[in-house]
Homo-oligomer: A and B are copies of this chain.
Amino acid sequence: MSELAWHRYGKAAIRLVKIERGGGADRVVDLTIDVQLEGDFDAVYAGDNRHCIATDTMKNTVYALAREGPIESAEAFAGRVAAHFAREPVVSTVKVRTVEQPWGPIHPHAFVLGAERWTTSVTQNAAVAAVTSGVTNLVAMKTADSAFSGFPRDRYTTLPETEDRLFVTAITAEWVHRAGTADFGARDRIRTALLQRFAEHKSHSVQHTLAAMGAAALGAAPTVDAITLTLPNRHHLLVDLAPFGLDNPNEIFVATDAPYGLIEATIRR
């Protein structure tokens, strides 16, 4: 005998592009959207589809809601989608996540895409919605003021101490909006604070800089109560040029993909 212990379903990777026209210049909203439902769907797992909202309907709903009103922000739109499905009787929780491709204008009707992505999630339970915002794939390098020394040494430790290494990371940050607040414009301020602290910090470790970046981000957004930072350490190793009769005064590096350090923490107010 077996039973359902947990379940969730939905549509992932709904690719919505909306051109907000009017005024002199267009605005592009480019979102990849996941909709996930939890609730009393047990009968579906026994073959009864009477309450199984088709994931195709979820997709259609996203496109229709995008047309039925303006998209002021990904957060607001994700909230609108979540609220729609939360009204279904069998649904207990809706989670809507979006990844935004931000297009930079180069002309009133032309745009270029960067590497960075912006994220949002809305989790809606009955009347309450929890909203997060974030950035991801913000790849940054620091060529000075990055040390790593004083760490413990055991029989498996070979890493030399360094006062001056390259620090390369792909910043992923996700922050929680205090209930009832909607400071979705905070992304720009948080992004600036993260990068500025990253650039200026006298780093003793990735962890040390992560904590400073998190504190700076909270300082830039008064209604954000917590921020989670995920910082892979994309190691750039000093190449040993001694076999060729050359020194390497912190100048020539090999960039490596694997393995990588991975540092994650949540900083709260």
Q: How far is the CB of A34 from chain B (nearest CB, A)?
A: 8
**From A1, which residue of chain B is reached at the shortest CB distance?**
B269
A248 near B2 (CB under 8 angstroms)? no
Contact with B along A14-49 (1 / 0, CB 8 A): 111111110000101010101010000100111111
Residues of B contacting A207 in the complex (Cβ-Cβ under 8 angstroms): 7, 9, 41, 44-45, 52
Bound-state CA distance A131–B140 (Å) is 31
Bound-state CA distance A143–B90 (Å) is 31
Q: How far is the CB of A81 from chain B (nearest CB, A)?
A: 11
Q: Which residues, 145 to 177 on A, are CB-close (under 8 Å) to B?
A: 145, 148-152, 154-159, 166
Contact flag A17-B166 (CB < 8 Å), given A64-B244, A112-B195: yes
Residues of B contacting A245 in the complex (Cβ-Cβ under 8 angstroms): 155
Contact with B along A239-254 (1 / 0, CB 8 A): 1010111111011111
A57 near B154 (CB under 8 angstroms)? yes
A60 near B7 (CB under 8 angstroms)? no
Interface size class of A (residues with CB under 8 A): 35 or more
A5 near B226 (CB under 8 angstroms)? yes
A11 near B267 (CB under 8 angstroms)? no
A73: Cβ under 8 A from any B Cβ: no
A262 near B112 (CB under 8 angstroms)? no
B141 near A103 (CB under 8 angstroms)? yes
A128: Cβ under 8 A from any B Cβ: no
**Interface SS of chain A:** mixed
**From A11, which residue of chain B is reached at the shortest CB distance?**
B259
Residues of B contacting A115 in the complex (Cβ-Cβ under 8 angstroms): 113-115
Bound-state CA distance A198–B60 (Å) is 29
B150 near A48 (CB under 8 angstroms)? yes
Partner of A110, one of B26, B140, B210, B266: B140
Pick from A49, A210, A228 the residue with the most CB of B within 10 Å. Answer: A49
30 CB < 8 A contacts A-B: A2-B214, A2-B218, A4-B267, A5-B266, A9-B262, A11-B260, A11-B261, A13-B260, A15-B255, A15-B256, A15-B258, A16-B252, A17-B254, A18-B252, A19-B251, A30-B255, A44-B205, A45-B265, A49-B149, A54-B152, A56-B157, A57-B157, A60-B158, A63-B252, A67-B251, A106-B195, A112-B140, A112-B141, A112-B195, A158-B243
**Chain A residues within 8 Å of B, Cβ to Cβ:** 1-21, 26, 28, 30, 32, 34, 36, 41, 44-57, 59-61, 63-64, 66-68, 103, 106-115, 138-145, 148-152, 154-159, 166, 195-196, 198-200, 204-208, 210-211, 214-215, 218, 226, 228, 232-233, 236, 239, 241, 243-248, 250-269
